[in-house]
Amino acid sequence: MVAECKSIVARWRNYFFQILSVHGVNDVRQREIQTAEPLAPEPSAFEFDLTIEEMKNHKSPGIGQIAAELIQVGSRKISSEIHNLIISVWNKE
């Protein structure tokens, strides 16, 4: 019985090794991963500015504790930095 179980485990190990191994690539991260759906483009500065304008005032701030009013009255530099942060997170998923 033990020998039979070892044989079954060995067959499964071989089966999954053949399916999951990437030939010619030592590191799976180096291989380009294809997705079934096209990647959405990163949000543009225009989309970001439009979203900021549409934010409702007098609402409770989110987890970042930044009220919408602070973002809306912030300088162009603040808006640009937040947009850069969003782009960074977007590209790194």
Q: Is residue 64 part of a domain?
A: yes
**In total, how many domains does the chain have?**
1
CA angle 15, 16, 21 (to 5 degrees): 115
Structural domain range at position 89: 41-93
Is the pLDDT at 27 greater than 70, yes or no? Answer: no
What pTM, to 2 d.p., does this model score? 0.52
pLDDT at 12: 82
Task: Indicate whether 16 pLDDT > 80.
Answer: no
Judge whether 5 lies within some domain: no
Determine, yes or no, domain membership for 30.
Answer: no
What are the tens digits of pLDDT across the range 58-72? 888 888 888 888 888
Between vectors from CA 29 to CA 28 and to CA 30, what angle results, nearest 5°?
90
The three-state DSSP-derived secondary structure of the chain is CHHHHHHHHHHHHHHHHHHHCCCCCCCHHHCCCCCCCCCCCCCCHHHHHHHHHHCCCCCCCCCCCCCHHHHHHCCHHHHHHHHHHHHHHHHHC
Per-residue confidence band for 84, with pLDDT thresholds at 50, 70 and 90 = very high
- Is 84 among the domain residues? yes
54 within domain boundaries: yes
